[in-house]
């Protein structure tokens, strides 16, 4: 075995991409602890070791990765030489011993042993190997012994092959004779594809946040767009066909009405572009709640698709005494919380209307109310830390017309405003 | 009329937002004639309020507290009379007893049980709601009220309906209150910030945890009548309760414990008897006339003021200590008293020193004397237990100290509430990086707002801690005078008042202080077979040693600043030493007294006195007022002040920085000086120097008391260095320097120091034929029990023998091995470590009672692996790791091998001329940035030959700060400065000895990282 090890800095996140890129050199690539290993023993027919080293260096530069390279007969020695840039195995510092325990995981099991070795003046692998094996076992236990064994016979540690992760993608070819160009038959086929996608999502414990639908149309001469692509972004993650189909239907229906397909579909492909882990709970077939939740999410997804995100929301209370700041938009149904506030109006005006008190009346330009009953004041101060110095005295008034209104007086300016209505 | 009966001060921590004085003042301003302060679970703020309120004619301060009740709303109690107050204190004590700090709570059955006492009729109770109201009704009957407040938060109607329902069902009358949290509306933001600090929130996300408005301020009668226009009876109820509360804190008549005064004597006559007996002992050749007159004068004053019991109490404690051979000495202004001198409380003869008695007690002073006594720090607990044993825990309690918010930490706390993300940054770092951090806050003009809040929160109490050694004693149960609560220190309880509160109320405090040097001196004296009073006074060699700044380990004159002064002042007699101790203080430094004095001492300048009186008062300090008493004497003899007025002047000076009250009194003195013919510029100089005392300065008597101990320590160091170091090492922690510096200093004076040895070392460092044997207690991490076992298992013949009989933790054994502890068995450090590692696994198996793993074979004790000895530097480093000291040598000796290290040693540097450019290297001992130094930083480095002072101006410090703060071994380049015998280096540049980029230093050792 000849191993080329690339030691990566601790902050490096492109380890898997690098591993995929190294597949061009050898089918045997492995991921280690902050390292990538490539078995190059059989590459000598194509490249020399120097050539592989140089090509790897170029690859690292193209990917912008600050890695260090070394080649040795085993994983641990290769990566230790790469990390420390030493020339010979005997010179490897004892701090690299955990790599000999396992090149695939970091471990602190040897920390005490390493500290003791350093205090004893044993700083390198060569000096460590010179200690009698029995004395290692007696002082550092079986973990020390295993480490020692692996140092003597490091080639015993096998290479764990790297498998690139696959994306969820399903497609279906359509028979030409079928001449699929209308929405309904398309949805029929889509349902089958979505069923498979849904199964794969469920199987891997995921939900989709984004999907791409690609259609390959028959390339007739008049066709201007032979490969239409449709992006679906879901406000809530989706996983079941029942919730996905209505979304696809709504979108495609409105699109096809404006732009019908130019020719029959030859292939339909669905790719899941973005996923999130699902809650992992087993589907409870006896409980409707999960189905209700899926239905709710489906409806919200359809409404947002149709009306736009800014116009579909719940109102959730916010802990603020300032009435106009007492709520915020949210997509999820809010959890009811107790509040120390007294009863608030059902409707709060976006912009308070100035009103003028005259005796037992209040009036605006166009209206006048006679006050029959008044409760208050409830005094609310501004958020002084945001430079709001005003104080407001709120009153609830019942008018002769039976209206139940919420007004306030600005204590600084004396101005009075109508701000809310109780239903 | 209206009386506010529910009001919290800032002693309801993180809830109330005003000082008690502010509340009293505001109440008076708005026309309220009565105010009750009712803090949560305590009467903390009452003495301060009482002291303020007593000067407001007709103002009625009512004493009360709010008690947290178990499973119910809080209950507020008001003291109607002395008996009711006693019950209140008992209940508060009970609420705190056996609870974690800050979690006081009282159960209903405890309330019922305690209030079976008939004195409970002296309490009014105010409930918040209906919970347990039937039970309260049974206890308090018609003395119970139901509080109702109108907070304008939209729930007033709801509260009113509930209260009316309870009132109808139970007949408990309603009481109007605003449930006050601050004295005026504009203090409301502070209350918001306190709420955020309490709940760990920011202002932006605190939500409903903040109040919806600013209404919880102290309201006037008119405002309250408007609010309660429909319930005038609730307002009248407040007046009724206020009129029923006649108790005042001035009723706390203090009685000393006195059952131990012999029959046939009163306190005064017994004191007189003891004093004259003591005088005969102090003056075996007859009491001098001046002393006799002074004794009579002091005894007369003591009788008039009724302080005889207090003196007897202190004398009793000191006698106990002397019987037990615990070294002790009074300090502070008590040393002005000849009564204290003859009773053996203090050690300095005030007649000889011409001290001013009125600095200690005067008729005008209106506060009791304060006698502080230092005891050996290791034996102070015996004295404390004696006090508890003699008086009982119900009559003796420790005084609290109010810890207030400090500027920097307060800034950080407040900044967090404004959303500034301070993370784990320290207070200093928060301020240094504030501009950058403030961007994380959503609040506009955040710095201004934070500063406005912190200004208002200045001196806000944060929590109570123990006033170290301060006791209050009483003939009556202390828990009926002031509530007692647990301190953070286990086994200790504290009263809810601090020493200032005791002064306000005329309660006496005894300070039982700990002084490490007394322990060290006692050990040294025992070793040399002498008593303190047998040491020859005024030994010239001792003063020469002090002048050379050879004072490491001594008392008061060992710090970097004092060493520097030693070389400049060059004391030649006891009074010079008194001055030296007093002059290195912020007061004289800020008052610019130091240089004039030094110039005159060395004849570079002549002292000028406008008249004889000033010459007499200031002559002994060469015309420079160095002591508060001198200002007092000037005020008395030239300013026409009475002694008591002069003492008020002294206090005004001391309070200058916080109250600005000096102006009036100071101008009176200034005018008086001019009237008596003192030239204006001289009077101005006196005034400016007096202002310096606003920063801390020593009373002369205090400096003299300390000078006695300083002289004794210097004498013993001069003539008995080994015994002196033995005393110091066994009294650590104390003093300015660590063990390694004391040891190196001893070695540099020819003392042989033997390392720790398994067969020869005792628990403490011992003397071995004039040499020192380091003690086992220096071993880091080892327990006392392990040391006992080690000593008991001797003799040890081998390492294996030692290991088999000492179950010491593996990490400590390893540290000992690397500290060459087992050299006696013929093993170097690494060989010993190798053996110990083999011992660890079987021990683990035995300890855990598990089966020996097949892989864990026992080591062959004779296995042939051998290791090289540690390099010397590593050996010394490991010694420091094991013992925080090394008998092998100073680390600088080894480091001189490094090429870049300057080879000149500190001893040689000190002989060079003034202004010589120098390079020197050493171990950094000290870094200091005194606030009085105008941004200058001081330091000290040490090598194998001595210690050298460093001075860094601001630009140098700023440039080299990271190196200076993070490295132990430094290379210093600068210019040598000499002033008399004082030597220091004006630093130009600093470089670290160890550098990752320097392969030579890396090759020395990896153990550099230890430093």
Same domain for A210 and A295, yes or no, is yes
Quote the radius of gyration of chain B (alpha carbons, Å). Answer: 33
Instruction: Indicate the Cα dihedral angle B664, B666, B668, B671, nearest 10°.
Output: -130
pLDDT digits (tens, 9 = 90+) for B993-1008: 887 666 666 555 545 5
Cα distance between residue A151 and residue A157, in whole Å: 10
Lowest mean pLDDT among A23-37, B36-50, B163-177, B508-522: A23-37
Query: Helix (H, G, I), strand (E, B), or coil: what is residue B450?
Result: helix
Which residue has better confidence, B378 or A62? B378
DSSP string, B95-132: HHTTS-TT---B-HHHHHHHTTSGGGGGEEEEESSSTT
pLDDT the model gives residue B884:
83
Question: Closest Cα partner for B523 from B729, B259, B224?
Answer: B729
Q: Which run of H or E residues covers position B497?
A: strand B493-498
Chain A residues with beta carbon closer than 8 angstroms to that of B192: 384-385
Same domain for A390 and A249, yes or no, is no
Q: Do the beta carbons of residue A181 and residue A223 sit within 8 Å? A: no
Nearest to B152 among A377, A383, A385 (CB): A377
Chain B residues with beta carbon closer than 8 angstroms to that of A142: 853, 855-856
Q: With an 8 Å Cβ cutoff, are B214 and A381 in contact? A: yes
pLDDT the model gives residue B466:
84
Instruction: Indicate the Cα dihedral angle B932, B938, B939, B940, nearest 10°.
Output: -90
Cα distance between residue A235 and residue A141, in whole Å: 56
The residue extents of the domains of chain B are 3-183+218-251, 267-397+469-479+503-515, 534-710, 737-883, 901-1010
Q: Do the beta carbons of residue B255 and residue B474 sit within 8 Å? A: yes
- Choose from A115, A117, A119, A411 for mutation: most chain B CBs within 10 A: A119
Tokens of B635: 């005020």
Lowest mean pLDDT among A295-309, B72-86, B322-336, B596-610: A295-309
Question: Closest Cα partner for B44 from B504, B495, B509, B511?
Answer: B495
Same domain for A143 and A184, yes or no, is no
Query: Helix (H, G, I), strand (E, B), or coil: what is residue B912?
Result: coil
Tokens of B383: 């004295």
- Choose from A138, A342, A378 for mutation: most chain B CBs within 10 A: A138
Class of domain B3-183+218-251 (CATH, top level): alpha beta
Q: With an 8 Å Cβ cutoff, are A385 and B203 in contact? A: yes
Residue A380 lies in a domain: yes
pLDDT band at A233 (very low <50, low <70, confident <90, very high): confident
Q: Do the beta carbons of residue A6 and residue A14 sit within 8 Å? A: no
Same domain for A7 and A152, yes or no, is yes
What's the rounded mean pLDDT across residues A58-87?
90
Among the four given CATH numbers 1.10.260.40, 3.40.50.620, 2.40.50.140, 3.30.1300.30, the one describing domain B901-1010 = 2.40.50.140
Q: Which residues contact B546 (CB under 8 A, 6 or more apart)?
A: B554, B557, B566, B571, B577, B714
pLDDT the model gives residue B655:
58
**CATH number of the domain residue A239 falls in:** 3.30.1490.100
**CATH number of the domain residue A122 falls in:** 3.30.70
A35/chain B closest Cα distance in angstroms: 26
Q: Which of A292, A307, A322 finishes a domain?
A: A307
What's the rounded mean pLDDT across residues A380-405?
93
Q: Which of A253, A285, A307 finishes a domain?
A: A307
Q: Do the beta carbons of residue A208 and residue A238 sit within 8 Å? A: yes
Cα distance between residue B777 and residue B761, in whole Å: 10
Please compute, for residue B286, the number of CA atoms within 13 A of its CA located in the half-sphere on the CB side: 3
B737-883 and B901-1010 in the same fold:
no
**Percent with pLDDT over 90 in chain B:** 54
Same domain for A118 and A208, yes or no, is no
pLDDT band at B364 (very low <50, low <70, confident <90, very high): low
Nearest CA in chain B to A146: B855
pLDDT band at B792 (very low <50, low <70, confident <90, very high): very high
**Percent with pLDDT over 70 in chain B:** 92
Region for B989 from its dihedrals, namely left if φ exceeds 0, alpha if ψ lies in -120 to 50, beta otherwise: beta
Region for A402 from its dihedrals, namely left if φ exceeds 0, alpha if ψ lies in -120 to 50, beta otherwise: left
pLDDT the model gives residue B663:
64
Give residue A53's domain range.
3-156
DSSP string, B591-617: TT-HHHHHHHHTTSS----SSHHHHHH
Same domain for A152 and A7, yes or no, is yes
* Average pLDDT of chain B, as a whole number: 88
Nearest to B830 among A120, A339, A341 (CB): A120
DSSP code of B755?
P
Among the four given CATH numbers 1.10.150, 3.20.20, 1.10.20, 1.10.1060, the one describing domain B737-883 = 1.10.150
Same domain for A140 and A197, yes or no, is no
Backbone angles phi, psi at B818, to 5 degrees: -70, -20
Listing from the earlier edge strand, what are the strands of the sheet with A35-39?
A29-32, A35-39, A3-7, A68-72
Tokens of B571: 């004391």
What's the rounded mean pLDDT across residues B180-199?
97
Model confidence at A420: pLDDT above 90: yes
pLDDT the model gives residue B693:
65
What's the rounded mean pLDDT across residues B940-950?
91
Task: Give CA B404 to chain center in angstroms.
Answer: 13
Query: Helix (H, G, I), strand (E, B), or coil: what is residue B290?
Result: helix
pLDDT the model gives residue B519:
95
Question: Closest Cα partner for A391 from B446, B186, B27?
Answer: B186
Tally the domains of chain A. Answer: 3
Q: Is the dihedral of CA B296, B298, B303, B309 positive or negative?
A: negative
Nearest CA in chain A to B158: A342
Q: Which of A156, A177, A198 finishes a domain?
A: A156
What's the rounded mean pLDDT across residues B941-945?
90
pLDDT the model gives residue A203:
62
Q: With an 8 Å Cβ cutoff, are B207 and A318 in contact? A: yes
Count of residues for chain A?
A: 423
Same domain for A204 and A127, yes or no, is no
Q: With an 8 Å Cβ cutoff, are B855 and A137 in contact? A: yes
Chain B residues with beta carbon closer than 8 angstroms to that of A385: 189, 192, 203-204, 418, 443, 449
Please state the three-class secondary structure of chain A as a single string: CCEEEEECCCCCCCHHHHHHHHCCCCCCEEEECCEEEEECCCHHHCCCHHHHHHHHHHHHHHHCCCCEEEEECCHHHHHHHHHHCCCCHHHCEHHHHHHHHCCCCCCCCCHHHHHHHHHCCCCEHHHHHCCCHHHHHHHHHHHHHHHHHHHHCHHHCCCCCCCCCCCCEEEEECCHHHCCCCHHHHHHHHHHHHHHHHHHHHHCCEEEEEEEEEEEECCCCCCCCCCCEEEEEEEEEECCHHHHHHHHHHHHHHHHHHCCCCCCEEEEEEEEEEEEECCCCCCCCCCHHHHHHHHHHHHHHHHHHHHCHHHCCEEEECCCCCHHHCEEEECCCCCCCCCCCCCCCCEEEEEEEEEEEECCEEECCCCEEEEEEEEEEEEEECCHHHCCCCEEEEEEEEECCCCEEEEEEECCCCCEEEEEEEC
Q: Which residues contact A291 (CB under 8 A, 6 or more apart)?
A: none
Nearest CA in chain A to B1006: A118
Residue A324 lies in a domain: no
pLDDT band at B842 (very low <50, low <70, confident <90, very high): low
Checking A108-114 for CB contacts under 8 A at 24+ apart, the result is A109/A143, A110/A143, A110/A144, A110/A147, A112/A140, A113/A140, A113/A143, A113/A144, A113/A147
Same domain for A15 and A127, yes or no, is yes
Nearest to B838 among A131, A139, A393 (CB): A139
pLDDT band at B411 (very low <50, low <70, confident <90, very high): very high
A390/chain B closest Cα distance in angstroms: 11
**Interface predicted TM-score of the whole assembly (ipTM), two decimals:** 0.72
Tokens of A236: 């809530």
pLDDT the model gives residue B149:
96
Q: With an 8 Å Cβ cutoff, are A135 and B863 in contact? A: yes
Cα distance between residue A395 and residue A406, in whole Å: 6
DSSP code of B439?
G
Same domain for A281 and A136, yes or no, is no
What's the rounded mean pLDDT across residues B15-30?
96
Q: With an 8 Å Cβ cutoff, are B858 and A387 in contact? A: no
Same domain for A146 and A191, yes or no, is no
Q: Do the beta carbons of residue B403 and residue B11 sit within 8 Å? A: no
B62-76, B474-488, B492-506: range with highest mean pLDDT: B62-76
pLDDT band at A164 (very low <50, low <70, confident <90, very high): low
């Amino acid at each position: 075995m000849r191993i080329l090890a690339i030691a990566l800095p601790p902050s490096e996140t492109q380890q898997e991409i690098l591993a995929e890129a190294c597949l061009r050199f050898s089918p045997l690539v492995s991921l280690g602890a902050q390292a990538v290993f490539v078995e190059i023993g059989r590459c000598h027919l194509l490249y020399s070791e120097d050539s592989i080293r140089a090509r790897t260096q170029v690859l690292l530069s193209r990917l912008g990765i600050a890695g260090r390279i070394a080649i040795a007969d085993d994983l641990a020695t290769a990566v230790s030489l790469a990390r420390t840039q030493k020339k010979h195995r005997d010179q490897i510092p004892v701090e690299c011993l955990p790599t000999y325990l396992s090149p695939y995981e970091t471990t602190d099991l040897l920390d005490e042993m390493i500290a003791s070795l350093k205090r004893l003046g044993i700083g390198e692998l060569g000096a460590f190997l010179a200690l009698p094996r029995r004395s290692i076992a007696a002082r550092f236990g079986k973990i020390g012994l295993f480490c020692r064994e692996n140092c003597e016979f490091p080639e015993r540690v096998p290479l764990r092959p790297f498998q690139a992760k696959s994306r969820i993608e399903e497609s279906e070819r359509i028979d030409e004779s079928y001449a699929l160009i209308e929405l309904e038959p398309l949805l029929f086929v889509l349902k089958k594809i979505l069923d498979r996608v849904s199964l794969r999502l469920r199987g891997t414990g995921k939900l989709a946040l984004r999907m791409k639908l690609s259609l390959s149309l028959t390339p007739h001469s008049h066709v201007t767009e032979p490969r239409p692509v449709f992006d679906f972004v879901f406000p809530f993650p989706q996983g079941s066909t029942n919730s996905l189909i209505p979304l696809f239907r709504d979108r495609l229906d409105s699109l096809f009405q404006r732009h019908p397909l130019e020719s029959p579909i030859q292939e339909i492909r669905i790719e899941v572009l973005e996923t999130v882990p699902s809650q992992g709970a087993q589907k409870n077939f006896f409980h409707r709640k999960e189905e209700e939740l899926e239905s709710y999410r489906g409806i919200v997804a359809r409404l947002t698709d149709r009306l736009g995100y800014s116009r579909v929301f719940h109102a959730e209370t916010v802990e603020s005494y300032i009435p106009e700041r007492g709520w915020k938009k949210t997509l999820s149904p809010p959890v009811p919380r107790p509040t120390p506030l007294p009863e608030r109006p059902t409707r709060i005006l976006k912009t308070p209307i100035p009103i003028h008190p005259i005796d037992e009346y209040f009036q605006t330009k166009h209206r006048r109310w006679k006050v029959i009953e008044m409760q208050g004041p409830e005094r609310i101060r501004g958020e002084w830390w945001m430079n709001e110095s005003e104080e407001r005295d709120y009153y609830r008034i019942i008018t002769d017309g039976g209206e139940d209104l919420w007004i306030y007086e600005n204590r600084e300016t004396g101005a009075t405003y109508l701000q809310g209505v109780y239903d | 009329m209206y009386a506010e009966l529910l009001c919290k001060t800032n002693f309801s921590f993180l809830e109330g937002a005003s000082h008690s004085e502010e509340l009293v003042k505001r109440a008076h301003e708005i026309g309220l004639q009565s105010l009750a302060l009712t803090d949560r679970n305590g009467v903390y703020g009452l003495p301060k309020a009482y002291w303020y309120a007593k000067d407001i004619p007709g103002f009625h301060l009512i004493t009360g507290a709010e008690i947290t009740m178990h499973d119910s709303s809080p209950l507020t109690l008001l003291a109607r009379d002395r008996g009711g107050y006693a019950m209140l204190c008992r209940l508060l004590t009970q609420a705190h007893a056996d609870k974690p700090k800050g979690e006081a709570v009282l159960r209903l059955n405890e309330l019922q049980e305690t209030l079976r006492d008939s004195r409970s009729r002296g309490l009014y109770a105010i409930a918040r709601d209906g919970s347990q109201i039937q039970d309260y009704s049974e206890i308090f009957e018609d003395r119970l009220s139901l509080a109702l407040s109108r907070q304008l938060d939209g729930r007033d109607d709801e509260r009113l309906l509930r209260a009316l329902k309870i009132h109808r069902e139970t007949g408990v009358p309603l009481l109007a209150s605003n449930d006050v949290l601050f004295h005026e509306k504009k203090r409301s933001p502070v209350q918001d910030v306190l709420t955020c600090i309490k709940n760990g929130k920011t202002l932006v996300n605190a939500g409903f945890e903040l109040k919806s408005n600013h209404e919880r301020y102290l309201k006037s009668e008119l405002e309250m009548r408007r609010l309660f226009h429909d319930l005038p009876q609730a307002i009248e109820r407040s007046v009724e309760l206020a009129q029923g509360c006649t108790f005042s804190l001035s009723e706390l008549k203090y009685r000393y414990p006195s059952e131990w005064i012999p029959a046939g004597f009163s306190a005064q006559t017994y004191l007189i008897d003891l004093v004259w007996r003591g005088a005969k002992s102090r003056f075996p050749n007859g009491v001098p006339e001046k002393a006799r007159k002074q004794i009579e004068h002091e005894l007369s004053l003591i009788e008039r003021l009724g302080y005889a019991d207090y003196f007897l109490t202190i004398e009793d404690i000191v006698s106990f200590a002397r019987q037990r051979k615990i070294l002790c000495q009074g300090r502070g202004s008590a040393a002005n008293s000849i009564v204290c001198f003859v009773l053996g409380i203090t050690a300095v003869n005030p007649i000889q020193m011409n001290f001013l008695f009125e600095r200690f007690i005067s008729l005008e002073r209106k506060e009791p004397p304060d006698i502080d006594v230092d005891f050996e720090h290791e034996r102070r607990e015996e004295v404390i237990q004696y006090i508890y044993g003699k008086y009982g825990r119900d009559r003796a309690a420790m005084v609290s100290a109010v810890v207030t918010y400090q500027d920097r930490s307060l800034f950080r706390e407040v900044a967090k509430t404004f959303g500034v993300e301070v993370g784990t940054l320290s207070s200093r770092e928060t301020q240094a990086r504030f501009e950058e951090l403030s961007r994380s806050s959503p609040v506009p003009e955040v710095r201004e707002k934070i500063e406005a809040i912190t200004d208002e929160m200045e001196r806000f109490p944060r929590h109570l801690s123990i006033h170290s050694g301060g006791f209050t004693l009483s003939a009556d149960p202390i828990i009926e005078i002031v509530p007692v609560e647990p301190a953070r220190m286990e086994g200790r309880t504290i009263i809810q008042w601090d020493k200032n509160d005791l002064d306000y109320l005329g309660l006496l405090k005894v300070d039982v202080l700990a002084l490490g040097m007394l322990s060290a001196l006692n050990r040294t004296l025992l070793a040399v077979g002498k008593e303190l009073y047998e040491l020859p006074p005024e030994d010239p060699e001792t003063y020469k040693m002090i002048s050379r700044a050879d004072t490491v380990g001594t008392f008061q004159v060992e710090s970097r600043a004092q060493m520097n002064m030693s070389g400049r002042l060059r004391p030649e007699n006891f009074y010079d030493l008194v001055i030296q101790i007093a002059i290195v203080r912020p007061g004289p430094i800020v008052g610019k007294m130091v240089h004039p004095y030094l110039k005159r001492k060395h004849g570079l300048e002549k002292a000028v006195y406008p008249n004889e009186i000033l010459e007499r008062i200031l002559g002994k300090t060469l015309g420079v007022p160095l002591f508060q008493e001198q200002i007092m004497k000037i005020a008395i003899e030239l300013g026409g002040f009475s002694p008591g007025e002069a003492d008020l002047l002294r206090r005004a000076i001391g309070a200058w920085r916080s109250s600005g009250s000096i102006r009036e009194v100071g101008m009176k003195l200034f005018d008086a000086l001019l009237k008596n013919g003192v030239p204006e510029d001289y009077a101005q100089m006196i005034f400016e120097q007096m202002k310096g005392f606003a920063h801390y300065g020593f009373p002369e008597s205090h400096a003299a008391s300390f000078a006695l101990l300083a002289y004794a320590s210097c004498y013993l160091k001069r003539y008995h260095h080994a015994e002196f170091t033995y005393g110091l090492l066994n009294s650590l922690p104390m003093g300015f320097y660590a063990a390694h510096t004391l040891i190196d200093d001893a070695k540099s004076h020819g003392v042989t120091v033997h390392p720790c040895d398994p067969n020869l070392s005792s628990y403490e460092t011992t003397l071995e034929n004039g040499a020192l044997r380091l003690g086992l207690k220096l071993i880091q991490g080892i327990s006392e029990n392990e040391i006992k076992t080690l000593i008991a298992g001797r003799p040890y013949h081998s390492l294996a023998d030692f290991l088999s009989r000492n179950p010491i933790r593996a990490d400590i054994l390893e540290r000992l091995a690397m500290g060459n502890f087992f050299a006696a068995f013929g093993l170097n450090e690494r060989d010993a470590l190798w053996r110990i590692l083999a011992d660890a696994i079987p021990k683990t198996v035995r300890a855990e009672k598990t089966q020996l793993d097949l892989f864990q074979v026992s080591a062959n004790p004779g296995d042939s692996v051998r290791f090289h000895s540690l390099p010397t530097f590593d050996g010394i480093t490991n010694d420091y790791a094991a013992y925080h000291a090394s008998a092998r040598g100073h680390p600088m000796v080894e480091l001189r091998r490094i090429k870049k290290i300057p080879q000149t040693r500190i001893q040689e540097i000190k002989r060079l001329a003034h202004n010589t450019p120098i390079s020197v290297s050493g171990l950094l001992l000290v870094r200091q940035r005194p606030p009085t130094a105008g941004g200058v930083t001081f330091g000290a480095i040490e090598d194998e030959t001595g210690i050298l002072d460093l001075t860094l101006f601001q630009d140098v410090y700023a440039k080299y700060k990271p190196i200076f703060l993070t490295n132990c071994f430094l290379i210093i380049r600068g210019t040598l400065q000499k002033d008399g015998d004082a030597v220091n280096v004006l630093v130009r540049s600093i470089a670290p000895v160890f550098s990752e980029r320097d392969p030579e230093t890396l090759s020395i050792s990896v153990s550099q990282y230890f430093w």
